[in-house]
Structure 1
Amino acid sequence: MTAPLIMVAPNGARRGKADHARLPITLDEMLTEARACRAAGADALHLHVRDADGAHSLDAGRYREALDELARVLPDMQVQITTEAAGIYSPTEQYACLDALRPAWASVSLREIARDADLAPRLYAMAADHGIRLQHIAYDRADLDLLAQGRAAGIIRPEQDEVICVLGAYTPPRAGRPEELAALAPALDGLRLGLCAFGPQEQACLLAGARVGAEILRVGFENNLLSPDGTPWPDNAAAVASLRHHLERKAA
């Protein structure tokens, strides 16, 4: 069995320095964190950029600068951008970001893009036409049903089969639990599974995902700041290193 890819999500759209001093906000901080996470065993980076005030941004210029710098300093690390709305951006703005950048890899929230029924087919078609690898974000079974409907209708292409399931939630706050995977399993047939989770059981959730064949395990401060014993991780790299250690120990 192929070992799952470890993706680190160092900051997300919502958290800041008040949540953790080592959460990267600026490009220089992101580059430093990415280097440390790559050295700790991360294969890929889930990239959010922030504006001058530290807020979530889908600015294509900021993304382009970050992608260029990451390619320069970490050419062997895969990078995935997010198109997350985070309550700020419309589907039209999300599409515009993706179209302007045409990155190698991007994540797209099924429920966010579904807000514009006319635009969604254009987005999936544009991604297919330009070879953009899409990872669909599914927060619950209803999102997986949206994915199935889009695939059945031919709106979402057969090769657009990658999904990341999120265990737990931001609002209202709810920690993820490994047993949540069982309820999602019937809707995952024929999909390439990725997984992330909120709260101190993040690592347990990811290891459970590895046992059922998840191809991508996403760890980091976007979803969780706490180690399995409930104490804060010192940085993202520590969370990556711990996950890598447990995966290798189970594979031995």
Structure 2
Amino acid sequence: MALERHPPPLIMVAPTGARKGKGDHPRLPLSIQEIRDETVACASAGADALHLHVRDQSGRHSLDPGRYKEAIAEVHGALPDFPIQITTESAGVFDVEQQLACLRDLRPKAASISIREVARDAALAARIYGTCSDNGTSVQHILYDLDDWTQLLAWQEKGVVKADQADVIFVLGRYGPPKAAKPSDLDSLTHLFPQLPGRVMICAFGPSEHDVLCAASAYGADLRVGFENNIYTEDGERAESNATNVAALKAALVFRTQGLLQ
């Protein structure tokens, strides 16, 4: 049963992602300056944090620490205290050693790390999570299905994942083959939420993104929204910008909360 009263969810915006380009949406922020400006707009629209991807000179997904440092400095130049989480997503390009090198050299305050991707080279798992612990990097585990959840539990049991590395994000839907998320996708997950000692976040692919996120908020989950997962409105039209999507989600959450509490 969904609880009816929760603190407002944290809203993290993921404006870029690793795969889309200007052909998918002309306002997809790719350059560091575009990412800065879009983050400022999203913060004004109600976003609480940034999930940051950077691109190289050719617009391809990058884990280059120098690019990350430049982007973080630009965003913090405009929004000094705005929380930034980097991605270590491989996107089919980077191996676990390269992901580890990014974490080691950048020493970010926060990073999302896919359980499934680390498991490609499980011998490096302890170094991945140990490096984050040593550097004070807050970890959010990316979980795509219950197999990832089982792997996380196993690594927690062995001490590979540290006790304070407890935050997770469940990804609903997928890029390929394309699958749009729907609210019923939460049915197999919500019983896990009370078992998790950290924060739970949800992101969702496709035009039902906001319906899914509003449903997740009723269970106390934090939310990630943005063009990384969805560039459409609920009507199937291309959204104007990340910032308008953030504003629309905020409005939907207010509407839902008022309806639940009446």
Q: Report TM bin, short chain.
A: over 0.9
One-letter amino acid of the counterpart of residue 47, structure 1: L
**Which residue number in structure 1 is paired with residue 54 of structure 2?**
49
1:66 alignment partner, one of 68, 71, 76: 71
**Which residue number in structure 1 is paired with residue 23 of structure 2?**
18
TM-score, with structure 1 as normaliser: 0.97
One-letter amino acid of the counterpart of residue 94, structure 1: Q
**Which residue number in structure 2 is paired with residue 82 of structure 1?**
87
For structure 2, which runs of at least 5 residues remain unmatched after alignment?
1-5
**Which residue number in structure 2 is paired with residue 147 of structure 1?**
152
**Which residue number in structure 1 is paired with residue 139 of structure 2?**
134
2:100 alignment partner, one of 95, 103, 126: 95
**Which residue number in structure 2 is paired with residue 195 of structure 1?**
202
Contact 2:88 2:102 in 1 (8 A): yes
Contact 1:144 1:187 in 2 (8 A): no
One-letter amino acid of the counterpart of residue 12, structure 1: G
1:205 alignment partner, one of 197, 209, 212: 212
For structure 1, which runs of at least 5 residues remain unmatched after alignment?
none
Contact 2:225 2:245 in 1 (8 A): yes
Question: Would you say 1:32 and 2:37 are equivalent positions?
Answer: yes
**Which residue number in structure 2 is paired with residue 242 of structure 1?**
248
d(CA) in 2 for partners of 1:104 and 1:224?
Answer: 26
d(CA) in 1 for partners of 2:169 and 2:216?
Answer: 11
**Which residue number in structure 2 is paired with residue 219 of structure 1?**
225
One-letter amino acid of the counterpart of residue 60, structure 1: P
One-letter amino acid of the counterpart of residue 227, structure 1: T
2:10 alignment partner, one of 5, 15, 21: 5
**Which residue number in structure 2 is paired with residue 121 of structure 1?**
126
Contact 2:190 2:219 in 1 (8 A): no
Question: Would you say 1:174 and 2:174 are equivalent positions?
Answer: no
Displacement of 1:129:
1.8
Give a deviation string over 1:94-139, Cα, whole Å, max 9, x none: 0000111111110001100111111101111111122110001111
Contact 1:141 1:187 in 2 (8 A): no
Question: Would you say 1:232 and 2:215 are equivalent positions?
Answer: no
Residues paired across the two proteins, number: 251
TM-score, with structure 2 as normaliser: 0.93
One-letter amino acid of the counterpart of residue 136, structure 1: H
SS of the residue corresponding to residue 223 of structure 2 reads strand
d(CA) in 2 for partners of 1:233 and 1:155?
Answer: 41
Contact 2:210 2:252 in 1 (8 A): no
Identity %: 49
Question: Pairwise CA RMSD of aligned residues?
Answer: 1.1
One-letter amino acid of the counterpart of residue 210, structure 2: Q
SS of the residue corresponding to residue 136 of structure 1 reads strand
Displacement of 1:54:
0.2
Displacement of 1:22:
0.3
Give a deviation string over 1:161-185, Cα, whole Å, max 9, x none: 1000010011110001111111123
